[in-house]
Amino acid sequence: MSLSLRYRAALVAGLVLWTASACGGSGGDASPTGDASGGSSSSVSASADGSASGTGAASATGSPELPVGLSTEEQEAALGGLAAYANYLKVGDNVFQGGGRDPEPLRAVAVGTALTSAQTEAANLAQLNARLVGSIVAKRIKVTSVNLKTDPAKSIVPEVVISSCEDSSGVQVVDANGKDITDSSAAQFFPSTVWARFYPKNADHAEGWLIARAENSVAGSC
């Protein structure tokens, strides 16, 4: 999986970034052992409109689209996954607006490759002694699948897959003096897919929905 392009594209040209290899589906990286701490599930009301509150919170436009014919349990799972996505965007914005110097909050909203990618982005930003200004806006949010299957032996947990278009046109990179160092040629619109998974409580995190995987591509608009 590539690093989250929505943040990478905003960085000044010349910053060396790595690319992680693609990850699998529900299995493989499903176990969050040692990858997250303090995670918690968000309220359904927070996910219903795809928004999140707080300083530097990412925003969303429009109402998320859910698949037709979901059972009550599947609807609840879909809303839980949407809440996790909203929190993932909000916390990511807050961490990067702080210059990536305190990446610990990321562990409450992400796990696996989604967490390691975000942590690397934070470290890159801190190395630049820079910070982001502005927030990601998630558009055209759609739950594409809901799978409630659980198989502890195979590290399979309930999963909600969400697609969106992440608009970073309002995001800038500024240096320690507040000077805009954004790469003006960088892409700004990113069709995205995230995998939200529901993990049981263990020593590393509370029970709840976390973003386990995130992928982005590039588009001309959202």
Rounded-to-integer distance, Cα 213 and Cα 35, Å: 12
Q: What is the pLDDT of residue 12?
A: 35
Name the one residue in this structure whose structure tokens are 């995230």. Answer: 194
Q: What is the pLDDT of residue 61?
A: 61
Q: What is the pLDDT of residue 5?
A: 45
Q: What is the pLDDT of residue 105?
A: 95
Q: What is the pLDDT of residue 99?
A: 96
Strand 159-167 with 137-147, pairing: antiparallel
Q: What is the pLDDT of residue 62?
A: 66
Name the one residue in this structure whose structure tokens are 């992680």. Answer: 20
Q: What is the pLDDT of residue 21?
A: 25
Q: What is the pLDDT of residue 207?
A: 81
Backbone angles phi, psi at 141, to 5 degrees: -75, 130
Q: What is the pLDDT of residue 104?
A: 94
Domains, the chain, in order of start with CATH, read 5-216 (3.10.450)
| Residues of the chain where predicted confidence (pLDDT) is lower than 50 | 1-5, 8-57
